[in-house]
Amino acid sequence: MIASETREMSRPAFGLWPRVAIVVVALALALAPAAAWIVGTWGSSPLDAWGWLFFAAALGWGGLVLALGLADGHPEGLDPSGWPLLFGFVLLAGAGLMLDVRLAGALAGLGLGWAAAWLLLGGAAGVLLLPSLLVAALGLPTIGFLLDGAWRGLGLPAMPALVLKAGLALVLLLGGLMLVVLRRRGRLPLPGPLQSVYGVALVTAAAALTVAFNPPTFGPPLALAEDQWAFGRWYGAEIQAAPSEQRLFADSRRLSKRIYASRDGARVSVLVVESDDVHDLHTPEYCLSGSGWVIGKPESGAPVSPAGGEALPLTAAAVEITAARGEQRLAGVYWFSSASRSTPDLTGLRLQSRLAPEEPFALYLISAVVPAGASARTPLIAFLREAPWLAAPRGAVDDNG
Amino acid sequence: MSAPVWPELVAAVVLAGLGLLLQSPRTLAGDPLAHLILAATAAALILHRLRERSPVRAGSPWSAVVLAVCGAVLAFLAPLAGGLRPALAYIALALVALSLIAAWRGGRMAANLAVPILVLYVLVPVLPLFEAALSYPLRRLSALLAAALLDIGPDAVTLHGTELSWGTLKVSVTSACSGLTLLQNLIWVAWWTVLLRHRGFVTRALHATLALPAVLAANTLRVVALAVMARWLGEESLVGPGHVVVGWAAVVLAVLLFLALEHLFPAVPAESDRPDTRSGGRSGSIGR
């Protein structure tokens, strides 16, 4: 690693606590635009509930670091190694605004507060407050969902998002304790400005590589002809959406849920959510995880491609999901579609909403639930084969005349 | 002072392991065994070059920053690059890996590892794509040159695309006759050859580039030989063992041609003739 350097800081005229006050004000200002979203989601989404606990833990850690005098030795002016970090978080905020990603804005808000602490309180405080930044980030909405996805991606046994976040927070705080020990022994590595630049470049490169290896995918638009209630061996009926679904999609333009049943007793559920604002749409894993379903791997093990192939008979770029809850087994497929294209992921949704802001999007979730031991995929595939498909979602067709 | 070897070993195993993870198992274990040999050669070189005892060098923060920034820019551009996305993503990953090496062991070590890392992280994963793009040009060139050679003989030769008409005989230079398999195998032969026979990046790169004309010449002669064989012994001879023998002869010819081209470059003094200035007193390295 780049050789670290230790800098001697002289006693400043401008004391510690006024600087802390400025940091707190800076953090509050930077987080203010995202505050309503953060607090609102803590109350509405089961996956994000208890997020305030992580904020409290982060504040507690920060307070402890300051109260123990571990951040003493701050510079007379500003620590120059904090500037690259500030610049990095300004870039993140810019990207969040440009792509309309609220999580990026909120992360940037936390990061700007941390960078302000680094600048004003010095590198030692910056390094010691890093666990605060990361633990607070765990309290942000969507982080639980992302962690859950990453955990499942590693093939590890399912675990509630809150437990995952709590475990990670514990590890981070233990890491913080190690930093404290190093600080006490005078062996805490303090990066200089160039090392800070490299750190920012490396984190940016890591984020860019994540996007490069998981690019958003797009397919042709696809929607269900909703005015046909009987086709093939299927009969449909509109039903009331569950309270959790109504709560999650409260701001959407239209929420429609229908059940299709076949003569041989198979049942398939279709959920359609239309919205002009992409923020109103979520991936189904988000609400399924929040309502007690444990997300698993698709039976086919094959991704759903626009070509359909052997996975599922679909033309849209879609995602296949399976889930289990007690003795229930769920198989489903979902995609977001506008008038011009479909996409299976939120990145694609945000990108498409930027490329064609006038096009409303609709989420299609088609799922079948069966008792354990039966295959939920069988009725799902039968329905997908026989359903009357349109080239574009209803709302988009209506809007475009 | 010498650095302990184990951090280098761990780093080398991580770098080589990551590179091997990037490979498509179907490509590595499938028909083109050449890919596996190339990947294994690159992984071995990374291990070899990193584990050599050398004086501890400070990292090169600026080169590390530049490499990381270039990697980030390429990675951000990758999703917009259509069919080139995998190649750009792999190059970006290689640059980030090299930036970590530059930060840890300095720019010189990063430069030493650049070729094996680029081969392992970029060339081998995108080789099937590259070969698909190269197939037709190689077929066409081989057919063109073979037609020119056969035209020296008594009957006129006409060429339509990649099909030769020689009197009443029609010979089609198909994908299997493009010389790609020859090229796949000559790439790793060439790499080992230039590592063992030359010093300096430029000389090695120049000699390695000559693998392509060597393949083209050998494949052209193979097409000519097959056409002559079909003309004299009948077209049925093309599906017999004669075809295989001609193919192997072309492999041998390509290798011999490539080795003969070594004489275009200045001779390299033998290891024993040069003083060993490195710490640890090792010699016979293929990593320099």
Domain assignments of chain B as residue spans, ordered by start: 5-127, 131-264
Domain-embedded: residue A10: no
> Smallest Cβ distance to A212: which of B58, B61, B89?
B89
Q: A213, A235, A258: which is the final residue of a domain?
A: A213
Distance between CA atoms of A108 and A27, rounded to whole angstroms? 10
Residue B66: the pLDDT is 95
Distance between CA atoms of A66 and A120, rounded to whole angstroms? 13
Give a three-class secondary structure readout of A269-321. Answer: EEEEEEECCHHHCCCHHHHHHHCCCEEECCCCCCCCCCCCCCCCCCCCCCEEE
Q: A213, A245, A261: which is the final residue of a domain?
A: A213
Domain-embedded: residue A6: no
- Amino acid, res. A67: A
Pair A142, A104: CB distance under 8 Å: no
Domain, as residue range, for A338 = 223-399
Shared-domain flag, residues A157 and A259 = no
Query: What is the least distance, in Å, from the CA of B282 to any CA of chain A?
Result: 26
Shared-domain flag, residues A198 and A235 = no
Strand partners, B23: none
Domain-embedded: residue A142: yes
**Taking 60 as the threshold, does the pLDDT of residue B125 lie above it?**
yes
Residues of A in contact with B68 (CB under 8 A): 198, 201-202, 204-205
Q: What tens digit of pLDDT does each residue of A72-107 get? A: 666 777 889 999 999 999 999 998 888 888 899 999
**Taking 60 as the threshold, does the pLDDT of residue A3 lie above it?**
no
Shared-domain flag, residues A256 and A286 = yes
Q: What tens digit of pLDDT does each residue of A197-206 get? A: 999 999 999 9
Kindly state the tokens that stand for A151. Answer: 């955990």
Taking the CA atoms of chain B, what radius of gyration do you get in angstroms? 23
Residue B54: the pLDDT is 56
Q: Which of A71, A78, A75 is nearest to A26 (CA)?
A: A78
Q: Is A186 exposed, middle or buried (0-12, 13-18, 19+ CB in 10 A)?
A: exposed
Shared-domain flag, residues A155 and A208 = yes
Q: Please compute the mean of the pLDDT values over residues A373-383 and round it to a whole number.
A: 86
Cα separation of the two ends of chain B: 21
Shared-domain flag, residues A173 and A229 = no
Instruction: Band the pLDDT of A222: cuts 50, 70, 90.
Output: confident
Q: What tens digit of pLDDT does each residue of A245-254 get? A: 777 777 777 8
Shared-domain flag, residues A203 and A281 = no
Q: Residue A1's closest chain B neighbor by CA?
A: B104
**Conformational region of residue A155, where left means phi above 0, alpha means psi within -120 to 50, and beta covers everything else:** left
Instruction: Band the pLDDT of B272: cuts 50, 70, 90.
Output: very low
Kindly state the tokens that stand for A148. Answer: 């859950």
Interface test with B, best of A99, A198, A345 (most B CBs within 10 A): A198
**Taking 50 as the threshold, does the pLDDT of residue B279 lie above it?**
no
Distance between CA atoms of A276 and A278, rounded to whole angstroms? 6
Residue A13: the pLDDT is 55
Instruction: Band the pLDDT of B55: cuts 50, 70, 90.
Output: low
When the pLDDT of each residue in chain B is averaged and rounded to a whole number, the result is 81
Interface test with B, best of A81, A154, A209, A217 (most B CBs within 10 A): A209
Number of domains composing chain A: 2
**Taking 90 as the threshold, does the pLDDT of residue A57 lie above it?**
yes
Report which of residues A173 and A232 the model is more confident about.
A173
Instruction: Band the pLDDT of B56: cuts 50, 70, 90.
Output: low
**Conformational region of residue A236, where left means phi above 0, alpha means psi within -120 to 50, and beta covers everything else:** beta
Q: Which residues contact A376 (CB under 8 A, 6 or more apart)?
A: A322, A329, A330, A331, A367, A368, A369, A370
Instruction: Band the pLDDT of A387: cuts 50, 70, 90.
Output: confident
**Taking 60 as the threshold, does the pLDDT of residue A9 lie above it?**
no
Cβ contact, residue pair A194, B61, below 8 Å: yes
Residue A30: the pLDDT is 94
A216 to chain B, any CB pair closer than 8 A? The answer is yes
Kindly state the tokens that stand for B167. Answer: 């009197």
Residue A305: the pLDDT is 42
- Please give the angle made by the CA atoms of B3, B8 and B12, to the nearest 5 degrees: 165
Q: What is the H or E stretch that residue A231 is in?
A: strand A230-231
- CA distance readout (Å), B118 to A202, A228, B89, B110, B271: 19, 56, 12, 11, 27
- CA distance readout (Å), A136 to A46, A53, A111, A133, B163: 18, 9, 10, 5, 68
Distance between CA atoms of B52 and B279, rounded to whole angstroms? 10
Cβ contact, residue pair B79, A2, below 8 Å: no
Pair A286, A143: CB distance under 8 Å: no
Pair A137, A104: CB distance under 8 Å: no
Q: What tens digit of pLDDT does each residue of B85-98 get? A: 889 999 999 999 99
- Amino acid, res. A87: F
Query: What is the least distance, in Å, from the CA of A100 to any CA of chain B?
Result: 17
Q: Please compute the mean of the pLDDT values over residues B251-258 and round it to a whole number.
A: 91
Please count the other Cβ atoms lying within 10 Å of the Cβ belonging to residue A42: 18
Shared-domain flag, residues A209 and A285 = no
A205 to chain B, any CB pair closer than 8 A? The answer is yes
Shared-domain flag, residues A49 and A85 = yes
Cβ contact, residue pair A209, B75, below 8 Å: yes
Instruction: Band the pLDDT of A396: cuts 50, 70, 90.
Output: very low
Cα separation of the two ends of chain A: 60
**Taking 50 as the threshold, does the pLDDT of residue A27 lie above it?**
yes
Q: A160, A192, A213: which is the final residue of a domain?
A: A213
**Taking 50 as the threshold, does the pLDDT of residue A397 lie above it?**
no
Q: Is the pTM of this model over 0.80?
A: no
Instruction: Band the pLDDT of B32: cuts 50, 70, 90.
Output: low
Residues of A in contact with B3 (CB under 8 A): none
Query: What is the least distance, in Å, from the CA of A201 to any CA of chain B?
Result: 6
Q: Which of B51, B36, B41 is nearest to B192 (CA)?
A: B41
Please count the other Cβ atoms lying within 10 Å of the Cβ belonging to residue A268: 24
Q: Please compute the mean of the pLDDT values over residues A316-338 and round it to a whole number.
A: 87
- CA distance readout (Å), A150 to A64, A384, B64: 31, 29, 29
Interface pTM, i.e. ipTM: 0.76
Kindly state the tokens that stand for A17. Answer: 């606590």
Q: Please compute the mean of the pLDDT values over residues B158-171 and round it to a whole number.
A: 82
**Taking 90 as the threshold, does the pLDDT of residue B237 lie above it?**
no
Pair B96, A206: CB distance under 8 Å: yes
Shared-domain flag, residues A258 and A156 = no
Report which of residues A99 and B113 the model is more confident about.
B113
Q: Please compute the mean of the pLDDT values over residues A165-173 and round it to a whole number.
A: 95
Residue A82: the pLDDT is 92
Report which of residues A276 and A74 the model is more confident about.
A276
**Taking 90 as the threshold, does the pLDDT of residue A172 lie above it?**
yes
Q: Please compute the mean of the pLDDT values over residues A286-309 and round it to a whole number.
A: 61
Shared-domain flag, residues A342 and A394 = yes
B91 to chain A, any CB pair closer than 8 A? The answer is no
